[in-house]
Chains A and B, each alone.
Chain A
Amino acid sequence: MASQVRDPSWTNPPNNFESGSKSLSPDQRFAAENAFTSVLVNTVREVVGDALGRNVLEILTSKGLLDDANNSKEFDRKLQSLFGNGAAVLERIVVKDLDRKLGIRYNSEAGFDYGKSLETAKEVCLVGSRLK
């Protein structure tokens, strides 16, 4: 009856993103950052919509939840104002989905920092674009 869906043991990316992403030209960096923002916003939309339904997603979108979604502090503040402690639950699911899409290992046991997690994911995107 049951079938396995998720393997929680994704592999960790290397920790040398900073040097890798610095070799991008300004145009490449701009394009890569836009690509990352697009993946992030799509992931937030999917997670909020799948957790709480399309009506809730549309209400939150109309209230500006996704405006400047790339700014993790601002997004966190908005989520906290709406969901209180539930904000952290949504953020963890966003990061888990984002990491899965980018092939980054997600460690549910480790301490969680939404901003740092997004920085790591963004660097993976930037390094990935350099290798293309």
Chain B
Amino acid sequence: MSGSEILSTLLGSEVRGDLLVLFHRNPGLIDTVDGIARRIGRTTVAVISEVRELLELGVLRQKRIGNSEVVFLDRAKDRELLDSVANHLKTLRIGDQR
């Protein structure tokens, strides 16, 4: 996946942007999808498909703790993806039409 495609996926919706900010500001956060939705002031329904996109991209990972499925940031994968985005942005000239 190219840096441009990663960027489009990361900023694919406002909810996804909110999720990125939440996990980057709280990199040790581990919570259920319900809990994550509450943290960003959204409903679970609005958040679930956005979380799935970030799980597929690999930024987030999921595991079971007791009876709960929880989601957390994969810091290594996150760094790798953001490095690709940074390398892509280095090649662009700001202000040019895409």
Contacts and interface: CB of A to CB of B under 8 A. Distances in A.
Interface of A: 1-8, 47, 50-53, 55-56, 59-60, 63-65, 77-78, 80-86, 88-90, 92-93, 108
B41 A7 contact: yes
Nearest to A5: B39
Q: Is the interface of A mostly helix, strand, loop or mixed?
A: helix
A89 B13 contact: yes
Nearest to A84: B98
Interface in B1-56: 7-8, 10-14, 16-18, 20-22, 24-25, 30-32, 34-36, 38-41
Contacts of A92: 14, 17
15 contacts: A5-B22, A6-B40, A51-B17, A52-B10, A59-B89, A77-B95, A81-B96, A81-B98, A82-B92, A82-B94, A83-B7, A84-B8, A89-B17, A90-B17, A92-B14
Contact of B86 (A56, A64, A90): A56
Interface string B48-66: 0000000000000000000
A52 B85 contact: yes
A76 B14 CA distance: 16
Interface of B: 7-8, 10-14, 16-18, 20-22, 24-25, 30-32, 34-36, 38-41, 68, 70, 79, 82-83, 85-86, 89-90, 92-98
Contact of B21 (A59, A60, A82, A93): A93
A60 B7 CA distance: 14
Nearest to B19: A51
Contacts of B21: 47, 50-51, 93
A64 B11 contact: no
Contacts of A53: 24, 79, 82, 85-86
Contact of B11 (A2, A5, A63, A89): A89
A2 B83 contact: no
B38 A2 contact: yes
A63 B22 CA distance: 26
B82 A5 contact: no
